[in-house]
Structure 1
């Protein structure tokens, strides 16, 4: 009798432990389902975001690339905007007699020499060089220019679409353009101090 009771107790204990094991094994499956759901949700959110072409090069790197391609010249402008879905830097420069242009992929660094042509007679012998050469020492970065400009307009810095480094009179300036819907706005900043020089709003 005692033997039968003992065997019955062992069987009952085994069934109980088996049930507990089964329950504990079901938890990871539920947890996995939640994890997959969260993962899918994150993927959907990520896919919903607008894809923005990468800008990996700094302005300093772009300046160095231009100076290597065209030594003994001066940079007169740097523009950054999109072309066929990718961002490109377009750098223009001069020496005493010629004008040059270098196009650089902002993500890959691939360079293309766009043009090299003679200056007009009234621009030669250093005239254009003296009038248009940028002062590139200690200029603020592209990121800082974007931050200052967006703050001046009260807009999201992520809506910036175009950047230009140029010169007016004796001042080298950044111009940053923002687009939101059909409206466009831009800010000109002193390239050394970040001070706002001009704001322009277009509806």
Structure 2
């Protein structure tokens, strides 16, 4: 009788041990699945956050912040690009004697840096101001990116710059896809594509 009871107890212990081992295996598999799914989701997030259209601060808001910081100046360029792990606007401008630069966090609008310095003699007294951007009726960043994407047949814009060239304000939109860089330049007022350059 004692042998039967002892055998039954041993059998119960063995079964309980197998069941515990199975549970451990299952939970290991499910944690591997969770880890794999988190990894895929973070890769997807990185892919989408490399696109400049993810920024929350608009170009007009960056202009307003610059004009409040450096009143009575003209803006000569506005660029948007990823520096480290965050997108930043860099707005540059001039008055008759000094050049100014304002760097903003493109997600929060907080000022990262501001700097002014004396213009060179050949740029002072209004000379540098001739390079001021025409900031009336320029097309939005999202529209410029859309036109550039369609023209170059690429996606995922990584940088944008509003600049002055040959007397006209232009958008320069840069893409990087499969290790290849493409820059599309378009008239900032009309949206007309001026050039497309591909750099291997």
TM-score by length of structure 2 reads: 0.76
Does 1:49 pair with 2:44? yes
Q: How does 1:80-159 map to 2 (within 5 A)?
A: 80-130=80-130, 132-156=131-155, 159=156
Q: Deviations over 1:163-182 (max 9, x none)?
A: 00000121000000000121
| Alpha-carbon distance between aligned partners in 2 of 1:191 and 1:173, rounded to the nearest angstrom | 5
Give the root-mean-square deviation of aligned CA atoms.
2.0
| Alpha-carbon distance between aligned partners in 2 of 1:57 and 1:180, rounded to the nearest angstrom | 25
Match of 1:186 among 169, 183, 187: 183
Q: Deviations over 1:62-106 (max 9, x none)?
A: 100000000000000001011111000000000001000000000
Q: Deviations over 1:25-66 (max 9, x none)?
A: xxxxxxxxxxxxxxx798675334042164100111010000
Larger radius of gyration: 1
Match of 2:157 among 132, 155, 160: 160
Q: How does 1:59-74 map to 2 (within 5 A)?
A: 59-74=59-74
Equivalent residues, number: 163
TM-score by length of structure 1 reads: 0.75
Give the gaps of 5 or more residues in structure 2: 1-33
Give the gaps of 5 or more residues in structure 1: 1-39
